[in-house]
Chain A
Amino acid sequence: MYEFIKNIDRRWIFLLMFVSVAIPILLQIQFPEKATDLAVTTYEAIEQLNPGDKVLLSFDFDPASEGELGPMATTFTYHCAVKGLKMYFMALWPVGPQMVDERIEKIIHRDFPDMVYGEDYVNLGFKSGNEGVIKVIVTDFRKLYTTDAYGTAFDDIPMCQDIYSVQDMDLLINVSAGYAGTKEWVQYAVTAFPDDIKMVAGCTGVQAPLLYPYIPDQLPGLLGAIKGAAEYEKLVVERYGLEDQPQYLEGIRRMGPQLVAHLLMILLIITGNVIFFIEKRREGQS
């Protein structure tokens, strides 16, 4: 048995990982969530806005990180829509507009059919230039955005007529999977105009440690990976009674496989180290 584990084929480990993720998904195992301070601050930043307030949602991620960031993007969209906020969607990533389209289709069109495009929400689409885009639109939207994502002139969109720059937004929400993303928004928008731009964000797990230095002054709220999404989801679900709507429980649902996968990782690390120390002792004895 010892020899088998010591020389285990990595395909057995792959199988273990597959099973540990598949079982909680198939059995729909869910665990309770307790919101931490950062999730509460993020939730409150949106909750305290009034109907008609303007929110810029920059979805800077792609399908690769959809599993980690999709649920929080969905909840952000729902939260803004249910509060009656005016939503300005944009993206710094080439496939960001598709991430926006998905939320518009699955959340706004389905659950808020009365919302009108151009009056309640607008998709400004993708612009290339990464932080260069941020640098321009923090002072003048029209210099880069002459139309929305579908070719309608910026000034012909009713909700864009009184918008001149990002500083006119009441809140900036960023969902980020890397460069360009939250770090660039903090550096080129919030830091440059700390009194005029307030921002909360959601990011991948690997990004979160790099963004903690900006908390709380430049970044009051941050949702770190699926755990952050689940905490935020819990707050929104409880407030708006969404317990029976599975599309708003994706983050909480995905915490099940995460728990089992994390336990497997710990088990693998411990097993690997036990073998390491046994081998070391044997080498010492011989």
Chain B
Amino acid sequence: MKRTVPIIITALGGFVLIIAYFIPRTQGWGETAAIWFDVLASIAFILGGGNLLKIHLKKISDQNSGWGYSAITITAFLFTLFVGLGKIGVNPNIQYPDFAWSGSYRTIGSPFWWLYEYAFKPLTATMFAMLAFYVASAAFRAFRAKNIEAILLLGTAFIILLGRTFAGVLLTSWLPDWLVGLKLENLTVTIMKVFNTAGNRAIMIGIALGIASTSLKVLLGVDRTYLGGGED
């Protein structure tokens, strides 16, 4: 029962979506299935929150190394949740002044806005910006012309790195008109449009065929690994 019901739900949902795509009359069924999916996706946020609490609370109670970070994570999570759900410091919507909670949680100047603007935004931007430093260090230590493939990759990287900036234009501006295709900015476009597109299309078609066969296995109940371990 524990496995049969999920298999039936999966098969029903999957086949409804396939049928809805090919038979216009059944398009509504597909929309209904998609709405269920969206509702489930919303519930997944609650599940995700619960899971986050479970993992980090366990880490704190076991006093594992780095439990202090877990404590910070949980504190930040609960505080943001409280401020956002409670709409703390939010003025009522002008249209519904009698309802205290009618204002938007994102109102400028509200505590939730403050958390977003001065904590979440700079923290996530900093994390992403740090990539530049690690990429530079990796470029120095790991990007080696060890064989033909690596040399080709290096050459392409140089063309793209230069071609995506004014340096590329400047370096090859002296080339005559009949060699315009060799200008770095044009070479970049050719690499992206021809070599990259051809390679990516081949990969995409391969992936699509793989997904189709895997999906069919899942829908027919042949592949049940997504259900995890355990017996019926």
Chain A residues touching B, range: 35 or more
A13 contacts B143, CB within 8 Å? no
A213 contacts B31, CB within 8 Å? no
Residues of chain B lying within 8 A (CB to CB) of residue A266? 158, 161-162
B139 contacts A128, CB within 8 Å? no
Q: How far is the CA of A255 from the CA of B163 in the complex (A)?
A: 12
- Flag B152-171 by CB within 8 Å of A: 1 or 0 each: 00100110011011110100
A31 contacts B166, CB within 8 Å? yes
- With A13-B137, A151-B102, A263-B167 known as contacts, the answer to whether A212 contacts B193 (CB < 8 A) is yes
- With A34-B185, A152-B95, A268-B136 known as contacts, the answer to whether A136 contacts B34 (CB < 8 A) is yes
- Give A197 Cβ to nearest chain B Cβ, in Å: 16
Q: How far is the CA of A210 from the CA of B201 in the complex (A)?
A: 9
Chain A interface secondary structure, helix, strand, loop or mixed? helix
Chain B interface secondary structure, helix, strand, loop or mixed? helix
Query: Which of B1-9, B35-43, B61-69 contacts the other chain?
Result: B35-43
Residues of chain B lying within 8 A (CB to CB) of residue A127? 38
Within 8 A of A (CB), among B179-195: 185, 189, 192-193
B106 contacts A151, CB within 8 Å? no
Pick from A66, A143, A210, A265: contact of B31, CB below 8 A: A143
Query: Which of A46-54, A166-174, A270-278 contacts the other chain?
Result: A270-278
B200 contacts A65, CB within 8 Å? no
- Give A20 Cβ to nearest chain B Cβ, in Å: 9
- With A67-B128, A136-B31, A212-B193 known as contacts, the answer to whether A151 contacts B144 (CB < 8 A) is no
A128 contacts B41, CB within 8 Å? yes
Q: How far is the CA of A231 from the CA of B65 in the complex (A)?
A: 49
A269 contacts B200, CB within 8 Å? no
Residues of chain A lying within 8 A (CB to CB) of residue B136? 13-14, 16-17, 261, 264-265, 268
Residues of chain B lying within 8 A (CB to CB) of residue A10? 137, 141
B137 contacts A269, CB within 8 Å? no
B144 contacts A273, CB within 8 Å? yes
Tell me, yes or no, whether B121 is within 8 Å of chain A by CB. Answer: yes
A272 contacts B139, CB within 8 Å? yes
Tell me, yes or no, whether A120 is within 8 Å of chain B by CB. Answer: no
Tell me, yes or no, whether A111 is within 8 Å of chain B by CB. Answer: no
A259 contacts B30, CB within 8 Å? no
Q: Which residue of B lies closest to A205 (CB)?
A: B164
Q: Which residue of A lies closest to B151 (CB)?
A: A273
- Flag B30-65 by CB within 8 Å of A: 1 or 0 each: 110011011001101100000000000000000000
B41 contacts A129, CB within 8 Å? yes
Tell me, yes or no, whether B120 is within 8 Å of chain A by CB. Answer: yes
Q: Which residue of A lies closest to B20 (CB)?
A: A135
- With A255-B165, A269-B139 known as contacts, the answer to whether A95 contacts B116 (CB < 8 A) is yes
Tell me, yes or no, whether A160 is within 8 Å of chain B by CB. Answer: no
Tell me, yes or no, whether A237 is within 8 Å of chain B by CB. Answer: no
Residues of chain B lying within 8 A (CB to CB) of residue A31? 165-166
A63 contacts B124, CB within 8 Å? yes
- Flag A238-274 by CB within 8 Å of B: 1 or 0 each: 0000000000000000010011011111101101110
Tell me, yes or no, whether B23 is within 8 Å of chain A by CB. Answer: no
- Flag A32-47 by CB within 8 Å of B: 1 or 0 each: 1110110000000000
Within 8 A of B (CB), among A73-112: 95, 97-98, 101, 105
Within 8 A of A (CB), among B92-151: 93, 95, 102, 104, 106, 108, 116, 120-122, 124-125, 127-129, 132-133, 135-137, 139-145
A269 contacts B38, CB within 8 Å? no
Tell me, yes or no, whether A64 is within 8 Å of chain B by CB. Answer: yes
Residues of chain B lying within 8 A (CB to CB) of residue A36? 185, 189
Q: How far is the CA of A140 from the CA of B38 in the complex (A)?
A: 14
A213 contacts B201, CB within 8 Å? yes
B132 contacts A21, CB within 8 Å? yes
Tell me, yes or no, whether B214 is within 8 Å of chain A by CB. Answer: no
B42 contacts A262, CB within 8 Å? no
- Give A143 Cβ to nearest chain B Cβ, in Å: 6
A132 contacts B34, CB within 8 Å? yes
Q: Which residue of B lies closest to A265 (CB)?
A: B139
- Give B7 Cβ to nearest chain A Cβ, in Å: 21
- With A64-B125, A129-B37, A259-B167 known as contacts, the answer to whether A150 contacts B158 (CB < 8 A) is no
B204 contacts A213, CB within 8 Å? yes
A-B contact pairs, 12 of them (CB 8 A): A13-B133, A13-B140, A21-B132, A67-B125, A98-B116, A132-B34, A139-B31, A143-B35, A213-B200, A265-B139, A272-B139, A272-B142
**Which 10 residue pairs are nearest across A and B when measured between Cβ atoms?**
A129-B38, A31-B166, A259-B165, A64-B128, A132-B37, A268-B140, A63-B121, A129-B41, A135-B34, A64-B124
